[in-house]
Amino acid sequence: MTPAESSETVEATSLDPANWVQFREQAHAALDLVLSHVEGIRGQPVWQPPTPDALSYFTQELPTDAGDIDELLAGIRDYVVPFATGNLHPRFMGWVHGAGTPVGVIGELIAAGLDLNCGGRNHIGLAIERQVVKWMGQAFGYPACASGIFVTGSSMANFLAAIIAKTEALGVESRERGLVHADRPLLAYASSEAHSCIAQALQLSGIGSVHLRQIPVDEFRRMRGDQLERAIVADEQIGAQPFLVVGTAGTVNTGAIDPLEEIAAIAERHRLWFHVDGAIGALAMLSPKMKRNFSGLEKSDSIALDFHKWGHVPYDAGFLLVKDAEAHKRAFAQPAAYLQRSNEGLAAGDTWPCDLGVDLSRGCRALKTWLTLAAFGTHRIGASIEGNCALARYLADLVESSDQFVLKAPVALNIVCFGIRNADPETVRAVVTKLQLSGIAAPSWTTLEGESVVRCAIVNHRTTIEDIDIFWDALTQLAGEAAGK
């Protein structure tokens, strides 16, 4: 190949736009499409199932030839935008979903544009992540030297915490030797209301979920401290090794907050790692009024939380905070020739995020999170969380003053669970499903003590009292129709 020929081939391989002027217009239009959708969300159905056309748009052959960007963006406008999850909408109340913000969109866009790889190396992406780690340390009363890492979600954060606790309990050699060399079985503790990912974390860690003790809860669905200590003592007596207790700050079923102060004291007495699953609730610490409900959180060894839930950072943005930075690193850091560090240059830096988790290549979840926290400030985010809790109490009052419905769990945070009087489980589910299909509102359902209940998690910063009223009217009507049959 002559140099001229080879430079032709080089140019031909570029995936950048041939016409930047045209591409810029297309990109701006795409951003406008998204922003207009968010701005006009209240006028849209909460949710609608994808049409057959939309589904078949995504069953095409692998494309070999270049597509037309205008046509592809039109496809996204027609077949993607209308059929999203629904969580942007103020009357989405199913499960626990954050609602995103336009500011978060910008953070995601810029991180994608810079194509930041935040597994390691010496660049600004890592500094942004360290900034958020520092901020969270401050918010939760951890020491300044605390460690932390962004992950997909709290499922992953809880899993990483279980691995750190296991490594601390068995010693770092156990990373090589495995569990078969442990002389006593390891045991973990969580309440019977803990999220299913805690059991999964035990499964994935090799410890096995039979070694997770489910501690009974009180009438507020909080872990019973006396039962926890009794279980630990009994296990110590049979020669097992209790190593981890997971408290929940905001349970997924009802929003209950375990007695963190009491659990911290028990964990300390028995030398257990105290991890808090704060996926839903931890960010409520940003509200000065709600902070006292989480007393004891600062005594934990690690905290999992989701910025994509009450922080409204666009999915995904899970996070793990660890008090003992050395313990965090001991559990994951892996020597490798191609990951060697230096004092300066691109390979500088002592601890990289790849030393603190499972991922090597990873995007920059920190930028959209940093931008969200910086743009709103903790007071505004805290106030929106308080607002959600006030709406949940308003809804609970509607339930309690109605003879058609009955409240099924105390409302500690933002989750309201209630039954429909004289309705069998199928009817409850049918009413919820009809409401979802109507596009008016989207609650979900869960099972409490074997009973199907309507479950509303008020997580959305856009939700107003009128939205609760609109939801309530539609629900009352559908439940009435179901009862009339």
Ligand X SMILES: *Cc1c(COP(=O)(O)O)cnc(C)c1O
Binding ligand X (rule: CB under 6 A), the pick from 88, 165, 188, 197 is: 197
382 makes contact with ligand X (CB under 6 A):
no
| Integer Cα distance of 454 and 253 in angstroms | 11
388 makes contact with ligand X (CB under 6 A):
no
| Least spacing, CB of residue 26 vs ligand X, in Å | 33
Which CB atom, from 453 or from 475, has the smaller least distance to ligand X?
453
User: Per-residue string for binding with ligand X, 245-274, x by CB under 6 A?
Assistant: ---x--xx----------------------
| Integer Cα distance of 344 and 176 in angstroms | 31
Binding ligand X (rule: CB under 6 A), the pick from 125, 318, 382, 419 is: 318
Which CB atom, from 275 or from 472, has the smaller least distance to ligand X?
275
CA distances from 129 to 150, 318, 368, 412 (A): 8, 12, 10, 32
CA distances from 280 to 9, 41, 275, 308 (A): 52, 24, 15, 9
Query: Which residues have C-beta within 8 Å of that of residue 169, sequence separation ≥ 6?
Result: 186, 241, 243, 244, 273
Of the candidates 120, 147, 126, 130, which has an alpha carbon nearest to the alpha carbon of residue 342? 120
195 makes contact with ligand X (CB under 6 A):
yes
User: Per-residue string for binding with ligand X, 209-248, x by CB under 6 A?
Assistant: ---------------------------------------x
Which CB atom, from 153 or from 296, has the smaller least distance to ligand X?
153
Determine contact, residues 333/341, Cβ cutoff 8 Å. Answer: no
| Integer Cα distance of 111 and 127 in angstroms | 14
| Least spacing, CB of residue 248 vs ligand X, in Å | 6
Residue ranges in 96-155 that form contacts with ligand X under rule CB under 6 A: 96, 153-155
407 makes contact with ligand X (CB under 6 A):
no
Residue ranges in 276-305 that form contacts with ligand X under rule CB under 6 A: 277, 279-280
459 makes contact with ligand X (CB under 6 A):
no
355 makes contact with ligand X (CB under 6 A):
no
Binding ligand X (rule: CB under 6 A), the pick from 168, 235, 306, 467 is: 306
**CA 239: distance to chain centroid?**
36
| Least spacing, CB of residue 275 vs ligand X, in Å | 11
Query: Which residues have C-beta within 8 Å of that of residue 321, sequence separation ≥ 6?
Result: 133, 136, 137, 140, 142, 146, 147, 148, 302, 303, 305
Residue ranges in 63-102 that form contacts with ligand X under rule CB under 6 A: 96
The site that binds ligand X (CB under 6 A) totals a number of residues, namely 14
Which CB atom, from 227 or from 414, has the smaller least distance to ligand X?
414
193 makes contact with ligand X (CB under 6 A):
no
- Sheet of 405-407: strand order equals 405-407, 415-420, 451-457, 444-448
HSE-up (13 A, CA, CB side) for residue 396 = 20
Whose tokens are 């869960």? That residue is: 446
| Integer Cα distance of 181 and 330 in angstroms | 19
Residues of this chain that interact with ligand X (CB under 6 A) are 96, 153-155, 195, 197, 248, 251-252, 277, 279-280, 306, 318
